[in-house]
Every structure is written in C-alpha cells, then in structure tokens.
A and B are shown apart, each in its own frame.
Chain A
Amino acid sequence: MTDILTKIKEAGLVGRGGASFPTATKWETVKNTPGEKKYVVCNASEGEPGVKKDLFIFDNHAERMVDGMKIAMDYLGAEAGYIYLNPSYYSKLAGRLNKLIKGTKITLFKKDHRAGYIGGDESTLVNHIEGKRIEPRLRPPYIAVSGLWNYPTLVNNVETFYNVSLVAAGQYEKKRFVTVSGDCPNEGVFCFDETWTIEKILRETSNYPKFKFFVQIGGDASGTVFNDAQLNQPVSGAGSITVYSIMKHKPNDLMKKWAYFFSNESCGQCTPCREGTFRLKEALKMKKIDWLLVNDLLNNLELTSFCGLGLVAPTPFKSYFNNVYKNYAGNKNKN
C-alpha cells in the first residue's frame, strides 16, 4: 500500500489557503522534525474578504475535512488537533462540527473577532491558540518546525484537508473551489477543474459581464486585479473571482478601501506596515494625491514588511494601476 505522503506528492497537492505551498513538503517537514509532541491545525480563518469557499466546504463536506485532519494526525502521531474557526462561522457550524469531532483529539478554537485578517497567518494563529499577542512570529523557525508551544505543527487550510481526504480515497480530481462574487448575477462558490481559466469560469457560471469590467483574483483585499483582456489564465491564490464594473468603482474609492483595510488589519509590529499602511491611507485621502509618495510606501511595504500581510498589501494597488487604471485614464480622455 502506498503511504499518504506519496499519494499527496503524486497528486501534486498544494496549500489552498492562498500561498500554494506544496502540501507534501510541509507534511514531510513536520514528520521529520523531532519533537516530543506534534500538533495539527486546520486553518479556517478565512479572513480575506470575498473568499467564502471554506464556509462552503464546511457546509457541504465537513466530514471530508475532518477526515483529512484525522489522516494527518494519524500520519504524524499528533497529540491534538485544532480547528481554528472564523468567529462569524462559529455559531452556524460549531454544533455540527462538534458532533463530527466527538471522540477525536480535535477541538474547535473560536478565533477572536479582533484577530481579523492577520489571524489567518499561520504563525499568528499559533500565537493566538497559545494565548499570546495576535501577531506573526519572526521566522525562521517555521511553524512546521516550531509551532504550537514550540512543537512541530502542521497548519493546513480547510480545502487542503478536504483534498487530502479525497486523495486518500482515490477520488481527487484536481479540482478547486472558487468564490465568484461582485457585480454579477450568480454569486456563489463553485468547484471546477483547477486548470479552468477565469474567463471560462465566468462564462460557465453565467457571470460574464456585458459591461466594461475588471476582476480581482484571490480576495477582495490582497488579490491581483486583471482587466478583461487578461482572463485567459487559471485562478491563483485563494480561490475567488470578484467582478467589478468599471462604471461603478471609482479608482480612488477602491484604493482608499484597500488602504483602509490594510491599515485596520495591520498588527502594528513592523514599521513599514504599521506606519506605511496608515500613511498610505492618509495620502489617498488628500485632494491632490502625491503618487510618488504612494509608490514609495507601496514599494517599502513590498520590500521590508515583516509578514505576508504587508508583503501582499501593494498587490491590489499595483495590479490595479498597471492593468486597469492606465486604461481607465485613457478611456476617460477619449470621451
């Protein structure tokens, strides 16, 4: 019989939290790191706006997800497992999940409301469960090597564990869940072959707009913005497509929204993010925006941030600017 790690490797599973890290590599690290105890955590933080696929999986395939967790815990000989649950899902899901995990070493951990976006970062999540300040840890050591109470800890996304269960059962078909929302008629979570392009998904779900639009892929906050000529590529990052009508969304409003989000969600630990996102928000409030300053702050975030939040914060701004804003400005001049 082939062991689960080989199966995961052969299936080519990657993390579905957004970073697409090879799942087998993470499992191997936790397995091979010596530790008196090991822990497994299911990351159901889902703090990225516009992404609702984890909730969908819980609603429809919770037993699969729990099965995937159990497989991981068996494989690693884990001491305990935690489902780190988005607080707004908790009341809806806790009852059913508690039934499913009864008699197992898995417990539910209700994420704090204040944990927000950064709570989804795996080192932050580990701090949170330990009762420490909710913010990322300095890495290395990585969480797979030194996580909960400094023991090797496997943190995987809901969809990743769901996929592990399918892989174990020989039913994995290389599909992924995608949340489609925004200015479109058929919002929802869908499951398609992972190679499907953004355009194909929009057309198959009858969501392809008849108006001028652009999309944001991988979340309403940190996702990448593409124009309608760039849709011939698969969905990357956290599985989501958000449709924006060009008429409805003024550029500065969108940028202000993003800046507000990141400033609000910054944990405060490092200078470029704590100060930078705040100054970005302030700069975008000005009547006459100093674009050089905005650019400087964005670059600084990208280059020097402590964790993923700061690192990805410039993505929406820069991709919006490069892929949409330039065209938008051009169009406006023509009219």
Chain B
Amino acid sequence: MPEIKIKINNQELVANSGETVRAVALRNGIDVPGLCDHPDFKPKANCRLCYVEIKGQKKPSKSCATLVEEGMEVITESEQIQKYRNTNLELLFAEHIEKCPTCVWRFECPLLQMADKYKLKLTRFPDRKGSRKTYKFSNAVEIDGSQCIDCRNCIDACAMQKIDYLELKGKGIEQEVIPTKNKKAHCILCGQCTVHCPVSAAQEQTQWEAVEAIIGKKDKVVVVQFAPSIRVSIGEDFGLPYGKVMTEQIVGALKQLGFNYVFDVNFAADVTTIIEAEELLERIKEKKPLPMFTSCCPAWINYIELYRPDLIPNITTSRSPQIHGGGLIKNYWAKQMKIDPKQVVVVSIMPCTAKKYEASRKEMKINGLLPVDYVLTTREFSFMLKKNKIDLAKAKSIPADNPFGKFSGAGAIFGGSGGVMESALRTAQFYAFGENKQACEGKIDFVDVRGLEGVKEAKVNVAGTILRIAVVNGIGNVKPVLDKIKEYDYVEVMSCPGGCIGGGGGPIPTTPDIRRKRIEALYKLDKDCVMRASYENKEVMDVIKWAKDQGEKAAHSIFHTKYKKRK
C-alpha cells in the first residue's frame, strides 16, 4: 500500500492509503473520541463525536469517515471541535443509565472517561431509557436496552458473523436493538456483540458475583483454570503491550484473589488434542463420517445444533479443553487429593461468552456433577482484579499448580485460529506412524493452517495418508466450507475472528491489529516450549491412561460428549 504523509497536531505521521484520519490518530496514541467507529466495520458516523479540523476545510470533519490524503494537516482539539463534540456527548450520556457499581466495564468505560476528560456532566439531560428491556440470550449474553447508546456496533458484529440475530426496531427515539423476529435466525452466543459494544450494553451475563461469594468458603475448595488465549490478551487491560505473555502473573493474581488452586487449560488442551487425534485416526481407519469437525468452540457447536443438525455425526465427540479440565479436576485430581468432588468448585476464565452455556450443558455431567461450575470472561476477571486493587502487571509470578500446570506448544496455540488443527495434526501424524517411528518426518509446524484469512485450506501428509483440511476463521466464513464438505477430511471452525484470541469475552477493544499481535504471541510461546506436541506431555498421558483404566464407560464420560438438534 502506498504511504501517505500527514500531520496530526503538528506531528508528522506516516499513514497507509485507505486509512481513516481517526485510525491513524489512534494508532499513534493521539486520542480522538468516538464510540461507533470500529476497525472491524465500515464507518457509520452516527455518534458524531470524532470531529477534527483539517486545514483548508471550513467545517470540522468526522475523522472516522475521512480518508487520509497526502499532506493533510489535522488538529484534534480546538474551541470549534469542542463545540461540535460536547453537546452530542451530553446527549449520549442521557441514553445510558449508569449502573457503574456492578458494571464490569466500570474501569474502562469511555463515557466516564470522557465526562472526566472534557469536564462534562453526565446529567445535563435526564435519563430517558429507564423502562427499556434487557434481552437475555441463554445464560451467556444480554443486551441491556437501558444502557444502549444506539451506535449499532452489536448489529454490525452480528452481521459480520452472518448470524443477523440482532436488528433495529422503531425509528427516532423509539429505536431499539432487539432479537430478530425471523424464526430461522438463532443466537449462537459468540459474544461478538459484547466485545464490540463501547458501553457494555451488550455484555456477558456475569457470574463474578457468585464466584466472589464462594471464594474463601470453608467447606469449598475453589479451583480456577484459565484458557490458552487469556495470557496473551489480559495484559492490555493493565496497560501492558499487546501480546504480552502473562501466564505466571495470572496465576499469582488468581491466588491473590483467594482461589485455592490454579490450573492451566493449556494442559487440558493437550488432553483434548490426544482425544481428538485418536478419533480422527479412528474415523479414517474405520471409514466413519468425514470430514471430522473440531468441537472446541461452543458457539460453533451451537451453530451446528441450531442450523445444521444434519452435520452432528461429523463433529468430534471430544469434549472441549475447559470441560476436560473440569472433569479431570473433579474426578482425577479430587481423588488424588482425597477431596469430595462435591466440595470442589471449578471456575473457568475464558475469552468467551458461549463457554458459559457449554459449562451448563446437562450432558457434560460426570457422576451427576457438572465439570465446571462458573465461567468468567476475561473482562470479568480484569474487573475482579481492579475491584480488588490488584495490578496484574505487578502480580507475583507463580507457576500453575501441578499436575495440570505443564503444557506443550500444541496446547498453547489452541487460542488462535488454526491452533486446534495444527495441534491435532502434530499428534495424529505421530500416532499414524505407529511403530515405524523412524519414518516419521517429525513435522511440527503446519504453517498452512496459520494466519488470519477467513478460510485456510491445505493438503497434509499424515503418515502417507493425504488429509484435505480446512480452517474456518470466524463463523461468518463457514458457509462456503459447509457447502462443499465432501472436499474435506478434517475441518476446524472457530466462531470468533482470529479464534479465541478474538473471543467475545476478551478485552475491549479487539481489532484486526490487536488480534494479529495476540496470535503472534501464541506462536512465539509455542516455539519457546520444550515440548511441542501433546503426546510429549507425560502428565497428560498419565491422566489419560488413568481414565482409560477406569473402564470404557468412565473414560467416555470424562472425554466425550454428544450433541442434539435444538430449536
């Protein structure tokens, strides 16, 4: 892309052709307020806050919808800009009923920050949305109309996912975001609306209150496990650079919050890899339905059950890492520790809203107990830390507890699009060679499945068998692949753009640039691991062996699940 030189506040900057003035300003740390602008979407220019002055233009311009031009000179603050911006900001304040004390977005809220920065009152106009409804989607996502500032990002996010479950009703001040009346559209709980909402009107259904209440209870052992992608994103909430790896600080901070034990879901991801690779080889060998689809993404499972139940036989029956982790904690670990599983409370920290629903699915129960009791999003976790004045950046580095603390690089990359596929291939390839290990090429890096394109396709050689694979990055890209499934043997689908590092429960903002930096961090983590493939993880193999020794039924209930058509 040709480079363009512009000046913002007399600072010389290099921009790319096609970039907006606001994007260039923000990229260079120059604050231009704005609520509806998001790099994932086309400019809507409806909040009317982002005015800047451009030399030669009579009136201030909307920086979110103005493309950079060579030699442009931009000023981001002046009396005139203030005039253009402030009344609109006060009008927006009155659309949003402040629920700050319990709002997980309180420490990052742009409305509070702007009121403070521009010395504006939140109350110039009386609130007008007191009687607006809250729409709840399962136990995962909700849209609180009384907090909505009508920016429409949630609708754009749902459209990006090609789910189109959210729509606008009414005009003028009656305008409201509602679930569609179209009976064919279903919410898959991906939470992209929540990670694109600037004011937390679209938000996760929180469980931090319940978790807070249970920590420290004498008759409970509260165990927490955190997802692969969390470690490369949560630092952002504490002013650290994008992609900063925070594994051990997370453990330290969780202990500071009072959790009794902290486990790493990367371990469970290694378990999932083994189970899934075994199933893949079995399907190929026994000519069972192919392609096999991955099942780690619960929003994708919702999609299948709601939209394409005919494909249920193609989904791996392997449970997801959080459920594997929870199941092993309550069954294997509790037994080792001589703790009654009923006393164990498992909390997951996930970059995801759909994981809340997954954890509550009845078919996940083992001996009558759900493997995971509560799921917090990354945002809820950040909120709990900030609320308790714990600065993650300064938290003590502590390794995760044994035995579910060690992980391979394959487990680590679960958090990015292509990671589950690559991880399974590393192990499947090893297993497929069987006794003939000498012939193994020892291929570790399957670079064809990496990257942030919508659909990645490749043919890979697994011990002489050519597997036709596809990786779907973002549920909005799934349809073309589903339209020609006969052309594939193994397909990974992640509903959120970039995979879990772009998850609906992740830090805000999440943008294409930020997703790229988070995923790069995962691959670096993988490269730095001593073990690169899941089968090398001795503790993982031990646990799997233990489960299998309990008998087929017991092992099945820990490692596998089933799906059903839903309406």
A-B CB contact pairs (8 Å), 20 listed: A114-B171, A263-B173, A267-B171, A268-B172, A271-B46, A274-B172, A274-B173, A275-B88, A275-B95, A277-B172, A278-B173, A296-B87, A299-B87, A300-B84, A300-B88, A304-B51, A304-B84, A306-B45, A306-B46, A306-B48
From 64 to 98 in chain B, residues with beta carbon under 8 angstroms from any chain A beta carbon are 65, 83-84, 87-88, 91-92, 94-95
A38 CB to nearest chain B CB (Å): 24
Q: A275, B84: Cβ atoms under 8 Å? A: no
Q: Does B123 contact A (CB under 8 A)?
A: no
A268→B174 contact, CB < 8 A: yes
Partner of B170, one of A268, A278, A296: A268
Quick check: is A168 within 8 A (CB to CB) of the other chain?
A: no
CB atoms of B92 and A275 under 8 A apart = yes
Contact at B91–A275, with CB atoms within 8 Å? yes
Please determine whether A138 and B44 come into contact, CB atoms closer than 8 angstroms. Answer: yes
**Contact A268-B150, Cβ < 8 Å, known A138-B65, A274-B172, A304-B51:** yes
Q: Which residue of B lies closest to A262 (CB)?
A: B172
A-chain residues with CB within 8 Å of residue B174 when the two chains form the complex = 268
- Is B128 in the interface zone, CB < 8 Å from A? yes
By Cβ-Cβ distance, the 5 closest A-B pairs, closest first, are: A268-B175, A275-B91, A300-B87, A266-B172, A304-B48
A305 CB, min distance to chain B CBs, angstroms = 8
The answer to whether the Cβ of B168 comes within 8 Å of any Cβ in the partner chain is yes
Q: Roughly how many angstroms separate A297 CA and B125 CA in the complex, as a whole number?
A: 12
CA A138 – CA B170 in complex, angstroms? 20
From B48, B59, B128, A271 is in contact (CB under 8 Å) with: B48
Q: Determine if B83 and A138 form an interchain contact, defined as CB atoms under 8 angstroms apart.
A: no
Contact A265 B88 (CB under 8 A): no
A279 to B49, CA, bound (A): 18
Give Cα A141 to B162, complex, Å: 25
B51 lies within 8 A of A279 (CB): no
Alpha-carbon separation in the docked complex, A134 to B47 (Å):
18
Pairwise interchain contact B173-A271, C-beta atoms closer than 8 A:
no
Over the window 134-169 of chain A, the binary record of Cβ atoms lying under 8 Å from chain B Cβ atoms (1 yes, 0 no) is 110010000000000000000000000000000000
Name which residue of chain B comes closest to A133, CB basis: B168
Which has the most chain A C-beta neighbours within 10 Å: B43, B125, B150, B173? B173
Contacts of B95 in A (CB 8 A): 275
Chain B minimum-CB-distance residue to A279:
B125
Q: Is the CB of B172 within 8 A of A267?
A: yes
Chain A residues within an 8 Å CB radius of B59: 303
Give the complex CA separation of A267 and B150 in angstroms. Answer: 12
Chain A interface helix/strand/loop/mixed: helix
Determine the residue in chain A with the shortest Cβ distance to B126: A282
Contacts of B87 in A (CB 8 A): 272, 276, 296-297, 299-300, 304
Within 8 A of B (CB), among A267-295: 267-272, 274-279
Closest to A115 in B: B171
Instruction: Decide yes or no whether A264 CB sits under 8 A from chain B.
Output: yes
- B contact set with A: CB distance below 8 Å: 43-49, 51, 59-60, 65, 83-84, 87-88, 91-92, 94-95, 125, 128, 150, 168, 170-175
Kindly report which residue of chain A lies nearest to residue B93, judged by CB atoms.
A275
Are A278 and B48 also in contact (CB < 8 A) when A271-B92, A272-B87, A296-B87 are? no
Q: Indicate if the CB atoms of B43 and A138 lie closer than 8 Å.
A: yes
Given A267-B172, A296-B87, A300-B87, the answer on whether A274 and B150 have CB atoms closer than 8 Å is yes
Closest to A264 in B: B172
Beyond the given pairs A270-B46, A300-B91, A303-B84, 18 more chain A to chain B contacts, judged by CB atoms under 8 angstroms and listed by A's residue number, are A133-B168, A263-B173, A268-B172, A271-B46, A271-B49, A272-B87, A272-B91, A274-B175, A275-B125, A275-B173, A277-B172, A278-B128, A278-B172, A278-B173, A279-B94, A299-B83, A300-B84, A300-B87
Chain B residue contacts of A304, Cβ below 8 A: 48, 51, 84, 87-88
Interface residues contributed by chain A, number (CB under 8 Å): 29
- Which of A267, A271, A296 gathers most chain B CB within 10 Å? A271
Bound complex: CA A149 to CA B157 (Å): 22
Interface residues of A in 220-279 (CB under 8 A from B): 263-272, 274-279
Q: How far is the CA of A265 from the CA of B88 in the complex (A)?
A: 19
Which single residue of chain B is at the shortest CB-CB distance from A297?
B87
**Contacts of A110-138 to chain B: CB distance below 8 A:** 114, 133-135, 138
Query: How far apart are the CA atoms of A265 and B128 in the complex, in Å?
Result: 18
CA gap between A278 and B150 in the complex, in Å: 15
**Alpha-carbon distance A135/B43, docked complex (angstroms):** 15
Interface pair A279/B168, CB less than 8 Å apart: no
Q: Which of A268, A270, A296 has the most CB of B within 10 A?
A: A268
Which residues does chain A contribute within 8 Å of B48, judged by CB atoms?
270-272, 304-306
B46 A269 Cβ-Cβ under 8 A: yes
Return A98 CB to nearest CB of chain B, in Å. 30
- Across-interface contacts of A274 in B (CB, < 8 A): 150, 172-173, 175
Contact flag A272-B175 (CB < 8 Å), given A303-B83, A304-B51, A306-B45 = no
Residues of chain B within 8 A (CB-CB) of A263 are 172-173
Provide the bound-state CA to CA distance between A138 and B43, in Å. 8
A106 to B346, CA, bound (A): 67
Chain A residues within 8 Å of B83, by CB: 299, 303
Nearest CB in chain B: distance from A133 CB, A: 6
Chain A: minimal CB distance from B28 (Å):
25
Contact at A266–B171, with CB atoms within 8 Å?
yes
Point out the residue from A133, A269, A276 that lies within 8 Å of B91, measured CB to CB. A276
Contacts of A275 in B (CB 8 A): 88, 91-92, 94-95, 125, 173
Q: List A contacts of B51 (CB < 8 A).
A: 304
In chain B, what residue has the closest Cβ to A134?
Answer: B171
Complex alpha-carbon distance, A268 and B177, angstroms:
12
- Which chain B positions have C-beta within 8 A of A306? 45-46, 48
- Residue of A at shortest CB range from B174? A268
Residue numbers in B under 8 Å from A266 (CB-CB): 171-173
Residue of B nearest to A296 (CB): B87
Chain A nearest CB, measured from B499 CB (Å): 31
A280 CB to closest chain B CB, in angstroms? 11
What is the minimal beta-carbon distance from B111 to any residue of chain A, in angstroms? 13
Q: Which residues of B contact A279 (CB under 8 A)?
A: 91, 94, 125
Q: What residues of A have a CB within 8 angstroms of the CB of B91 in the complex?
A: 271-272, 275-276, 279, 300
In the complex, per-residue mask of A283-325: 1 if CB is within 8 Å of any chain B CB, else 0: 0000000000000110110011110000000000000000000
The answer to whether B172 and A271 touch across the interface, beta carbons within 8 angstroms, is no
Question: Smallest Cβ distance from A180 to chain B, in angstroms?
Answer: 31
A305 to B45, CA, bound (A): 10
Alpha-carbon distance A297/B86, docked complex (angstroms): 11
CA distance A292 to B144 in the complex (A): 33
Interchain nearest-CB distance for B36 vs A (Å): 9
B51 to chain A, nearest CB (A): 7
Task: Please report the C-alpha to C-alpha distance between residue A269 and residue B83 in the assembled complex, in whole angstroms.
Answer: 20
Taking the closest CB of chain B, its distance from the CB of A143, in whole angstroms, is: 17
B173: chain A residues at CB < 8 Å are 263, 266, 268, 274-275, 278
Inter-chain CA distance A269–B171, complex, in Å, is 8
Please name the residue on chain A nearest to B175 by beta carbon: A268
**Which A-chain residue is minimally distant from B35 (CB atoms)?**
A271
Measured CA separation A267–B172 after assembly (Å): 5
Which partner residue on chain A sits nearest B176 by CB separation?
A: A268
**Chain B residues near A133 (CB-CB < 8 A):** 168
Query: Which residues does chain A contribute within 8 Å of B94, judged by CB atoms?
Result: 275, 279
